[in-house]
Amino acid sequence: MQFIDLAAQYQHLKTKIDARIHKVLDHGHYIMGPEVLELEEQLAEYVGVKHAITCANGTDALTLAMMVLNIKEGDAVFCPTFTFFATAETIAFANATPVFVDSEESTFNICPVDLEKRIQHVITEGKLVPKAIVSVDLFGLPANYVEIEAIAKKYGLTLIEDAAQGFGGTLNGKMAGAFGDIATTSFFPAKPLGCYGDGGAIFTNNDDYAALLRSLRIHGKGSDKYDNVRIGVNSRLDTIQAAILLEKLAEFSVELGARERLAEAYAKEYAEQFIVPKLPQGYTSSWAQYTLRSDRREASMKGFENLGIPTMVYYRTCMHQQTAFVDLGYNDGDFPIAEKLAKQVFSLPMHGYASCLGYE
């Protein structure tokens, strides 16, 4: 059994993906070819925003968002401590200071109550300028944007939605990737919508942000590629990856339905043995991971291993416990819910091509 069966997915889509790749090979526009623009248009339509700007990977998407919002030294950017390293890394890379926030136990996502407390503390302390919030849609479930957007507005902060895992999920009918001032996603192969390499995208309804993003991703270009009007980066999505994503996006709704059925099967099977994820009212999840909780995690994972079922842990170490952030002065116990989750969580195989769903 595969944790994420990309081979089965490819076999299912092989004819269409191969045809798309060969079309790129025939026209030879490997960088910023026509498939890139086609994908951006389809992504914007799917998410329900004015602009989708592709880039080289999800980390670059966050970095570009920091650049557009002018995040800099002396700024405080609030983000969850229970997340993948890139969330906080890109804040530090912009020379700003990540201010970590505890989690909601029931959803794994950033806790709005603790978020407001951390903002108030930074304001009271007066050492940093509160600038932005990065909210992560963890394991496929959008964060509580009803409350988070209200907090951002109350304190005059910009909001970045990190939808790398949440892409395909919804809150009150609104797609992940459509929240905040800017949203980002990743097309890493293991993500709900993944390519066959690295890739990412940024979403926004702000015309000025979109124009700046399109410049920054290609060395800060102006009217043509040899007129550079600002310092940018080299972060373009390869045309072949765009071609692959076009076929995967066309199948995405079918795969989300299969993921949902697998999640329902897991819940039915394991609800009495483990703490299983539950969807709050008004939410759907893209089930980037199906994450159980157990106070006997290692023994539980061994039990699944004995059955031939692979498991993974996302995440064993919170951001405030990472060696790279030791100078920020956090201590164990500062984020009790996140630290508890980090000791309990483990994930089961999740993809749309499990044999129990009719695929062999």
What pLDDT score does 360 carry?
Answer: 35
Here the CATH number for the domain that contains residue 25 is 3.40.640.10
CA 303/CA 96 separation, integer angstroms:
43
Looking at residue 356, its pLDDT comes to 60
**Among 248, 283, 300, where does a domain finish?**
248
Cα(73)–Cα(95) distance, integer angstroms = 5
- For residue 1, tell me if it sits in a domain: no
Q: Is 316 in the same domain as 218? A: no
**pLDDT tens-digit readout, 148-184:** 999 999 999 999 999 999 999 999 999 999 999 999 9
Low-confidence ranges of the chain (pLDDT < 70): 355-360
Its pTM stands at 0.95
Please tell me whether residues 293 and 194 are part of one structural domain.
Answer: no
129-136 and 75-80 as β-strands: parallel, antiparallel, unpaired?
parallel
293 and 210 belong to one structural domain: no
Q: Are residues 87 and 166 in the same domain?
A: yes
Query: Phi-psi category of 90—alpha, beta or left, where left has phi over 0 and alpha has psi -120 to 50?
Result: alpha
Kindly report the CATH number assigned to the domain that includes residue 316: 3.90.1150.10
As a whole number of angstroms, the distance between CA 274 and CA 349 comes to: 16
Indicate if 95 and 30 belong to the same structural domain: yes
Are 91 and 214 in the same domain?
yes
Residue 319 corresponds to which tokens in the numbers above? 């951001």
CA distances from 334 to 42, 132, 137, 138, 326 (A): 43, 21, 22, 21, 13
Question: Looking at 248, 277, 308, which one is the last position of a domain?
Answer: 248
Residues 202 and 333 both lie in one domain: no
